[in-house]
Amino acid sequence: MFYYQNPAEGLAIREVNRVVEEAFAEHGRGRVQMPPKLYVTFDHGDFRTMPAYIPSLSLAGVKIVNVHPGNPRIGFPTVMALLIILDPGTGIPVAILNATTLTDLRTGAAGGVAAKYLAPSRTVTLGLVGSGRQAAAQLDAIAAEREVTEIKVWSRNEKNAVSFCRKYSSLDCTVAPLEKVCDCDVLVTSTPSREPVIRDDWIREGTHINAIGADAPGKQELDPGIIQRATVFVDDPAQAVHSGEINVPIAKGLFSPERIEGTLGEVVLGRKKRMSRDEITIFDSTGLAIQDLAVAEIAMKSRERVALRFP
């Protein structure tokens, strides 16, 4: 058994996108096992337990990931993750990965894959609502799939948006008011909001939205009006209904699970797609354990590892 301290280092975004795309394809084919993630809640956060098995990769495992919004105040990341990999043949644990950065990457990759198939055009303008680690991961992954000509960024704390654009100074990246950010081809929302931050009348026809922030019951970023007039794709129906962007609209009777058009896996397989240039499409991402497994497969090539005695 090995512990991988820094397995994200050196991974190529394009390769991450490809293995995550293939995991979604297997999900679309119904060839994975993935019970819906389990939540355990604390006073100041929670943790999620995410087991899965991808037979075609001969890879099984469990991701354990916390969300503690107050952590940055005491010098810890909000989200930290470990990934345990088992050998399907014997059940023996073969690897433990520090999966905090891998989690950013695989969530970004899902957004990249969604943009590849659902963006209205090959060349796109990008709007980022939220400017944290996930906004960067989405930008990296989307830019690996589409030609991004312009990036507009909004953050509740403007300083963060400014510093985000500084990091991407080689691109046309500017801070903008929320309404202007929403006027784009591909919009990424990655805030921890529990109230809609994006108004319905700010979203023009043809926009594709990666709705990333809502990943637990009660969280939402989009006005339900947007969801009502959009074509909604999800990563996994069970998880999306429970904790994705659509969870609050469903709880309020403003959206119905039957209105989900399909999964990203079905989109990757070509079974579902954007039907017109004017359609608004939404990819509702909750994060799947199979994405973690897929990335682990290439991350375990890292040499920065420690051998541990087991059993």
Q: How far apart are CA 234 and CA 100, in angstroms?
A: 23
Is the Cβ of residue 92 or residue 251 nearer to its own copies in the bound state? Answer: 92
We find the least distance from the C-beta atom of residue 43 to its own copies, in angstroms, to be 8
We find the least distance from the C-beta atom of residue 84 to its own copies, in angstroms, to be 6
Is the Cβ of residue 46 or residue 158 nearer to its own copies in the bound state? Answer: 46
Q: How far apart are CA 235 and CA 222, in angstroms?
A: 17
Closest CA to 61 of 43, 28, 85: 85
- CA R_g for the chain: 19
Judged by CB under 8 A, the number of residues near its own copies is 46
Q: How far apart are CA 36 and CA 51, in angstroms?
A: 8
The DSSP call for residue 238 is H
Restricting to residues 94-133, name those near its own copies by CB under 8 A.
96, 98, 100
93 binds its own copies (CB under 8 A): yes
Q: How far apart are CA 158 and CA 113, in angstroms?
A: 29
Amino acid of residue 215? D
Can you tell me which of 18, 29, 86, 162 binds its own copies, judged by CB under 8 A? 86
Can you tell me which of 30, 90, 258, 277 binds its own copies, judged by CB under 8 A? 90
180 noted as active-site residue: no
User: Residues 44-83: x/- map of binding to its own copies (CB under 8 A)?
Assistant: xxxx-x-xxx------x-x-x-xxx--x--x-xx--x-x-
We find the least distance from the C-beta atom of residue 6 to its own copies, in angstroms, to be 8
Q: Output phi, psi for 3, to 5 deg.
A: -105, 125
Residue given tokens 């129906």 in the structure block? 237
Is the Cβ of residue 275 or residue 308 nearer to its own copies in the bound state? Answer: 308
**Collapsed DSSP state (helix, strand, coil) of residue 93:** strand
Can you tell me which of 12, 38, 251, 275 binds its own copies, judged by CB under 8 A? 38
Write the CA distances from 152 to 118, 233, 249, 293, integer angstroms.
20, 24, 27, 32
Binding site for its own copies (CB under 8 A): 3, 5, 33, 35, 38-47, 49, 51-53, 60, 62, 64, 66-68, 71, 74, 76-77, 80, 82, 84, 86, 88-93, 96, 98, 100, 306, 308-311
* Residues involved in catalysis: 63
